[in-house]
């Protein structure tokens, strides 16, 4: 499973459409196997949804949409 989290300064960022980064967690058998921080390059809501799809995120955790 791949979990995406809106991310800033080591914490969940509070607004999906304004997040500058996502942190991705790859999880297998209940264990985190890898993490990756990816810049959004200032993309808005629609582009961010496409980015999450392209990065194969299964789940999104964020402060609000």
C-alpha distances in angstroms, 63 versus 13, 15, 19, 31? 6, 6, 10, 23
The pLDDT value given to residue 33: 98
Domains contained in the chain, number: 1
Owning domain of residue 28: 2-61
The pLDDT value given to residue 4: 96
> What CATH number has the domain bearing residue 12?
3.30.420.130
Low-confidence ranges of the chain (pLDDT < 70): 43-45
The pLDDT value given to residue 28: 97
């Amino acid at each position: 499973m791949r979990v995406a989290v809106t991310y800033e300064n080591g914490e969940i960022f509070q607004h999906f459409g304004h997040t500058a980064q996502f942190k991705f967690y790859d999880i297998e058998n209940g264990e985190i196997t890898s993490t990756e921080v990816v810049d959004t390059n200032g993309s808005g809501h629609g582009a961010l949804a496409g980015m999450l799809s392209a990065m194969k995120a299964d789940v999104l955790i964020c402060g609000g949409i």
